[in-house]
A and B are shown apart, each in its own frame.
Chain A
């Protein structure tokens, strides 16, 4: 998958974090960044016209949390192949294991380092 022209879905209830992640994603040429405020909003955006190449999601969000979103995406035949990165303040090892066990491809603890995020995305999209 090319790193250019990728469509990213950023699922995060904090506008500051959404903007911060989106700002980092602008490093990818012609990246399209679609934002969602929670899991339910994310599922709506995933069924929209834009084909999403990668999902970045927080865990703690109102309405539907990130773990539920990961689980639902992995159960959906059309969406299950999309790589997912969890970005969260939950840094405990058991949280990481739970996120990865549900089907997330990577787990990044906040505060995030932009370079680490870019490297992780590059590795996931450069398959």
Chain B
């Protein structure tokens, strides 16, 4: 082999080597690209997994928040309901405060009775009623004030003996009476009123407030009326009793004073 053919063979070999090297480089490039692509694909999957986990977590959170929201909504409803109840209680306390303040603002017996009447009309909502006092000597309950004789004739003259009938029993036992309209048909008579509440000082009954008819706009007693009525009756009892005692002592004082005047002038 001469020098020229050896050179051509070498050149051919070199070119093949070059082509092979180029081929290898291209493959390498292709593989590197695939590797990079695979790596990228792998990363996306991880990301998807991560996002999935995040979505699941957020869904849980969302569910938890929705549950809490419902709970808070229920609490709000409960608060709103309690607010109304408290408003009602405030109203009743204000009524009770004003009523007791008025009842104890005077020692004049007639004035106290007028205030009791005002309270029964305006706070209890009674149209026809009577205030009875117990005469401890005769054990008889007698009306000393009344309203609504036009709708309940005879209300001004209501009386009862202690222990007799509904009124007498209320005075004897000291337990309030409210008609059961479902059982008793709601028929109200002078002896069977809508309500009879004792005027009590501790356990000592001094009289009754007897209701025969409520105002047209008031259908029936509400749950809170019973409580309010009893509390008012307790205040009314002390006010009536003290004003009665005061007027009696005033009378006695006047008599003694007149007697002393008579003695000193002689």
Residues of chain A having any CB pair with chain B under 8 Å:
14-17, 19-20, 23-24, 89, 91-92, 109-111, 113-115
Contact = CB atoms under 8 A, between A and B. Distances in A.
Contacts, number: 58
Nearest to A96: B217
A111 B96 CA distance: 13
B97 A23 contact: yes
Nearest to A26: B94
A111 to B, nearest CB: 4
A15 B115 CA distance: 8
Interface residues of B, number: 24
B222 to A, nearest CB: 10
A71 to B, nearest CB: 23
Contacts of B41: none
Given A91-B216, A114-B90, A114-B91, A20 B125 contact: no
Contacts of B90: 114
A54 to B, nearest CB: 19
Contact of A23 (B98, B115, B122): B98
A4 B12 CA distance: 109
B99 A16 contact: yes
Given A89-B215, A91-B217, A109-B215, A17 B122 contact: yes
A20 B98 contact: yes
A18 B208 CA distance: 26
B133 interface: no
Contacts of A14: 118, 122
A89 B213 CA distance: 13
Looking at A109, A110, A111, the one whose CB has the most chain B CB atoms below 10 A away is A111
A96 B155 CA distance: 28
A16 B98 contact: yes
B118 A19 contact: no
A33 B264 CA distance: 53
A111 B125 contact: yes
A20 B119 CA distance: 10
Report, nearest first, the 5 A-B pairs whose CB atoms are least far apart.
A91-B217, A109-B217, A114-B91, A111-B125, A16-B118
Interface in B81-115: 87-88, 90-91, 94-95, 97-99, 101-102, 115
25 contacts: A14-B118, A15-B102, A15-B118, A16-B99, A16-B115, A16-B122, A19-B98, A19-B101, A19-B102, A20-B95, A20-B98, A20-B99, A23-B94, A89-B122, A89-B125, A89-B127, A91-B215, A91-B216, A91-B217, A109-B215, A110-B121, A110-B122, A110-B125, A111-B215, A114-B94
